[in-house]
């Protein structure tokens, strides 16, 4: 057990840490913007090799082979880093078990591509003989498909290798399409497909600086705006050198921004930002919350993403209004949780069962924070957690990191052993607010979550808990409110809300944390622009995509002394 001396030190250290935590992100607590830096002096960041995320993989396959191709196999879990899976994608590799699964998926896709129904449309040529190699036809297929799968034309060496492989495989299995099928299986496991490559070249318009090559630009743009591989038009633009001129890539950006495929990109961004992958492993106790099921979770995510997409893309709305809007969409299953009727024939009802719904004025619910997705995702299986909800709001909406608790926190002090039964969560968390070792961090989280206590662990409204009325008052960074609606308004007005979106969207687009100089530029330049645009989302995407900074990269760091990591790699081989 920790000695008292240790405890005091730990307690003091915590307060210092906690204090520091609030100061540590000045750019996110709304300090006045400094003068915008000269954009050409902003160094870019390093290129990042990013593993395709699960949705990106699925989109690429659908784009190249069609929506009817099913993918059989289990995806390697994506890892979140700095609040985004897209940043984590630049930190992971492929374990053997993961490659095994990619192999299974590759096999399942190839089998379908080469079945009788698909074969002829997928392979644009016929072999001279069905049972013998045909390098011409194989080469044609490999080049065409490879360009789309690898997001760039194959090198001569790559093509030659694959054509030889196809010929060998054809001889082994005895037929041309079988050999080509195995070649496709291999291409779908190759690092050129599984990873998003960024190649830097000298920037002719800025001597001494580097920029992404044309194909890397195409990939960065299309994964950012559409969450998928570049389409043929974009690849062709890259090939023709159009992406190397500002006018050229602006034209492509504008094309992509008006495409219906923008919705997929926006959804992918917000699903990442809101940590919706957490639903995959969320469980609720079926006895306490019988209305919860994976189907409800799917509808809940869809509700929020539809709300966001409709508000930001269709209505071109102010981003901040997402936290106060009463307009959303309902499905029949959600209606049962929100306790509202969802008539089949309501105006605007769609064949897929979704229909627009607006909470009436005065309804306790408003904003996406009071939708089932946020409320259910950040709760325990059997009860709510104001701490989890507060932490989630800080980290996902305001981009603020809450420090981990230190070791050896003495919870003995916390427990009132005489009266352990508290009626409401607010009462149970009393200690979080009064014990010095706890308040430092918990005051950042609990008052936010406590104002959401009218919504249980799956988001159903409740007026009271265990017979006591729920007090929904709370506070965030000095702004007090007496209801969850007030929380929504406070988030609307909080400077960190919009700053967070700018930073996080940029990090998502480049696949890494912004560098120091980029961060300055994001606050001063993009942040101001975002405000000037009325906090609209599409203009923000455009500003990022056409900025001079977006494609700027620094030269890859030279080969350093092998790290312990690398030497262990060597040992393992």
Partner 1 sequence: MTIWRGHKAAVAALMLTASFTTPAMAGQTKGFVVSWFNQAEYADPQGRDCPHGVNDGPEIYYRKELSAIGMSHADVEKYINDFLDMSKFKQTIPIAQMRGRINGKPADAYAIPTSVPDPHLKLVEGPMGYGFNLDGKVGKNDFTDPETGEKGVKNQLYRVIGCINELKTHTLTDRPPLQLNYWNVLYEQMPAWLVEIDGVDDPKNNKDVTITITRAFEAPSKDSGGNVATNLTFSSDPNPRWHNVVHGTMKDGMITTDTFDMNMLGDPFWIQEFHFKQAKMRLQIDEAGNLRGFVGGYHAWFPFYWQYGSEGWGVDATNNIDLPGFYYALKNAADADPDPKTGENRMISSTWLMEAVPAFVTHPDDRRAELTPTNEGAARGK
Partner 2 sequence: MNVTQRLADLAPNRRGFMRGLLSGAAVTVALPFLDCFLNANGTALASGAPLPTRFGTWFWGCGLTPGRWEPKQRGAGYTMPDELTMLSPYADQLSIFSGFKTFLDGNGLTPHQSGQRGIITGTTGKEPDPSIDVLIADATGPNTRFRSLEVSPMGNPNNTISRRSNSIINAAEASPMALYARLFGAEFQDPNAADFKPDPRIMAEKSVLSAIKDSREKLSGQLGAADKARLDEYFTSLRQIEQQMTIELQKPEPLAACTKAEKPNEKPVGTDVETTFANHKLFAQILAHALACDQTRVMNISYTDGASSLRKVGEPTTQHIHTHEDPIDDKLGYQPGAAYFENQIMLGFATLLETLKSVKEGDGTLLDRTVVMALSECGYAKQHTLESIPVFLAGGKGSGKIKTGIHVAAAGEPGTRIGLTVQQCLGLSVNSWGVGSMRTARPLTELFV
| 507 lines the binding site for partner 2 (CB under 8 A) | no
Nearest-5° Cα angle at 443, 442 to 446: 70
Helix axes 96-113, 176-187, angle to 10 degrees: 140
SS3 475: strand
Segment 423 to 442, residues that bind partner 2, using CB under 8 A: 428
Q: Which does 464 bind (CB under 5 to 8 A by kind): partner 2, partner 1, none?
A: partner 1
* Residues 25-54 contacting partner 2, CB under 8 A: 46-49
Task: Give the nearest distance from C-beta 276 to partner 1 in angstroms.
Answer: 20
CB < 8 Å & 24+ apart, contacts of 324-327: 324/366, 324/367, 324/485, 324/488, 324/489, 324/492, 325/366, 325/367, 325/368, 326/358, 326/359, 326/360, 326/361, 326/363, 326/365, 326/366, 327/356, 327/357, 327/358
How far out from the chain centre does Cα 321 lie? 21
Residue 156 contacts partner 2 per CB under 8 A: no
Within 96-155, the residues that bind partner 1 by CB under 8 A are none
Q: Give yes or no for residue 192 binding partner 2 (CB under 8 A).
A: yes
Binding-site partner at residue 412 among partner 2, partner 1, none, CB < 5 to 8 Å by type: partner 2
Q: Which helix (H) or strand (E) holds 210?
A: strand 210-212
Distance CA 237, CA 246 (A): 12
CB of 296 to partner 1, least distance (A): 9
Out of partner 2, partner 1, none, which partner does residue 173 contact, by CB within 5 to 8 A per kind? Answer: partner 2
- CB of 300 within 8 A of CB of 329? no
Instruction: Show Cβ contacts of residue 107 under 8 Å, excluding neighbours closer than 6 positions.
Output: 185
Of 109 and 296, which CB lies nearer to partner 1 in the complex structure?
A: 296
Structure tokens at 240: 């023709």
- Please state, as a whole number, how many other Cβ atoms lie within 10 Å of the Cβ of residue 266: 21
142 three-class SS: helix
Q: Could you tell me which stretch among 255-263, 348-356, 381-389, 499-507 binds partner 2 (CB under 8 A)?
A: 381-389
**Closest CA relative to residue 243, chosen from 479, 472, 545, 490:** 545
556 interface partner picked from partner 2, partner 1, none, CB below 5 to 8 A per type: partner 2
Distances (CA, A) of 165 to 158, 185, 265, 567: 10, 11, 36, 32
Selected from 464, 534, 556, 562, the binder of partner 1 by CB under 8 A is: 464
| Token representation of residue 556 | 């890859």
Selected from 165, 386, 440, 488, the binder of partner 2 by CB under 8 A is: 165
Task: Tell me which of partner 2, partner 1, none is bound by residue 546, counting a contact when its beta carbon lies within the kind-specific cut-off of 5 to 8 angstroms.
Answer: none
How near is the Cβ of 363 to partner 1 at its closest, in Å? 6
**In the set 40, 205, 358, 408, which binds partner 2 (CB under 8 A)?**
408
Contacting partner 2 within 53-92 (CB under 8 A): 74, 76-77, 79, 91-92
Q: From the list partner 1, partner 2, none, which binds 361 (C-beta under 5 to 8 Å, kind-based)?
A: partner 1
Establish if 332 lies at the interface with partner 1 (CB under 8 A): yes
Query: Strand 468-469 to strand 474-476: parallel, antiparallel, or no bridges (unpaired)?
Result: unpaired
Name the binder of 166 from partner 2, partner 1, none, CB < 5-8 A by kind: partner 2
Q: Please, which residue, 184 or 491, has the CB nearer to partner 2?
A: 184
Smallest gap, in angstroms, from Cβ of residue 484 to partner 2? 21
- Cβ proximity to partner 2, 383 vs 538, nearer residue: 383
What's the distance, Cα to Cα, between the start and end of the chain in Å? Answer: 43
Of 95, 124, 130, 286, the residue at the interface with partner 1 (CB under 8 A) is: 286
> Considering only residues 153, 405, 495, 539, which one is a binding residue for partner 2 as defined by CB under 8 A?
405
User: Going edge to edge, which strands form the sheet with 210-212?
Assistant: 200-202, 210-212, 552-553
309 near 352, Cβ under 8 Å?
A: no
Residue 421, binding choice from partner 1, partner 2, none, Cβ under 5 to 8 Å by partner class = none
Q: Decide: residue 95, CB within 10 A, 0-12 exposed, 13-18 middle, 19+ buried.
A: exposed
Q: Does 563 bind partner 2 (CB under 8 A)?
A: yes
Strand (E) or helix (H) holding 469 = strand 468-469
CB of 418 to partner 2, least distance (A): 9
In angstroms, what is the minimal distance from the CB of 449 to partner 2?
Answer: 15
Task: Please give the size of the binding site for partner 2, defined by CB under 8 A.
Answer: 87
Nearest residue (CB) to partner 2, 355 versus 457 = 457
Residue numbers 266-325 binding partner 2 by CB under 8 A: 281, 283, 285-288
Q: Which residues bind partner 1 (CB under 8 A)?
A: 284, 286-287, 289-293, 332-333, 335-347, 358, 360-364, 460-464, 469
């Amino acid at each position: 057990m920790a000695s008292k001396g240790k405890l005091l030190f730990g307690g003091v250290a915590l307060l210092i840490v906690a204090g520091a935590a609030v100061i540590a992100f000045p750019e996110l607590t709304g300090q006045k913007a400094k003068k915008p830096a000269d954009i050409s002096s902003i160094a870019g960041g390093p290129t990042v090799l990013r593993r395709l995320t699960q949705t990106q993989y699925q989109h690429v396959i659908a784009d190249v082979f069609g929506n009817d191709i099913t993918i059989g196999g289990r995806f390697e879990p994506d890892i979140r880093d700095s609040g985004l899976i897209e940043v984590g994608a630049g930190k992971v590799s492929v374990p053997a078990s993961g490659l095994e699964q990619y192999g299974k998926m590759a096999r399942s896709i190839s089998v379908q591509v080469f079945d009788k129904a698909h074969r002829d449309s997928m392979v644009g040529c016929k072999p001279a003989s069905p049972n013998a190699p045909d390098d011409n036809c194989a080469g044609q297929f490999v080049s065409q498909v490879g360009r789309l799968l690898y997001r760039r034309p194959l090198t001569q060496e790559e093509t030659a290798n694959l054509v030889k492989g196809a010929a060998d495989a054809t001889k082994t299995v005895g037929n041309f399409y079988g050999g080509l099928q195995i070649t496709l299986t291999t291409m779908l496991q190759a690092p050129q497909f599984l990873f998003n490559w960024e190649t830097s070249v000298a920037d002719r318009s800025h001597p001494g600086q580097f920029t992404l090559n044309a194909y890397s630009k195409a990939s960065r743009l299309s994964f950012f705006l559409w969450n998928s591989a570049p389409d043929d038009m974009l690849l062709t633009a890259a090939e023709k050198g159009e992406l190397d001129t500002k006018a050229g890539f602006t034209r492509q950006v504008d094309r992509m921004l008006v495409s219906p495929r923008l919705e997929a990109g926006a959804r992918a961004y917000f699903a990442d930002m809101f940590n919706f992958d957490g639903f995959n492993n969320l469980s609720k106790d079926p006895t306490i919350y019988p209305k919860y099921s994976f189907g409800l979770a799917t509808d809940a995510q869809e509700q929020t993403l539809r709300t966001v997409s409709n508000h930001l893309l269709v209505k071109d709305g102010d981003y901040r209004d997402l936290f106060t809007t009463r307009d959303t969409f309902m499905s029949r299953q959600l209606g049962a949780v929100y306790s509202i009727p969802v008539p089949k024939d309501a105006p605007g009802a769609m064949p897929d069962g979704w229909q627009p719904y607006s909470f009436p004025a005065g309804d306790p619910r408003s904003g996406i924070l009071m939708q089932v997705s946020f409320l259910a995702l950040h709760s325990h299986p059997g009860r709510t957690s104001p701490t989890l909800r507060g932490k989630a709001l800080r980290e996902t909406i305001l981009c603020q990191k809450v420090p981990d608790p230190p070791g050896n926190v003495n919870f003995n002090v916390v427990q009132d052993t005489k009266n352990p039964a508290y009626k409401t969560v607010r009462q149970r968390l009393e200690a979080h607010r009064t014990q010095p070792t706890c308040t430092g961090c918990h005051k950042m989280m609990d008052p936010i979550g406590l104002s959401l206590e009218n919504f249980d662990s799956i988001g159903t409204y409740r007026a009271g808990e265990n017979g006591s009325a729920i007090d929904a008052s709370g506070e965030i960074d000095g702004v007090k409110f007496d209801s969850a609606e007030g929380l929504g308004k406070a988030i609307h007005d909080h400077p960190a809300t919009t700053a967070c979106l700018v930073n996080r969207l940029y990090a998502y687009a480049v696949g890494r944390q912004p560098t120091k100089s980029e961060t300055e530029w994001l606050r001063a330049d993009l942040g101001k622009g975002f405000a000037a645009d009325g906090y609209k989302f599409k203009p923000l995407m455009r500003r990022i995509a056409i900025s001079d900074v977006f494609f700027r990269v620094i030269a890859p760091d030279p080969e350093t002394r092998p790290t312990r990591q690398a030497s262990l790699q060597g040992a393992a081989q």
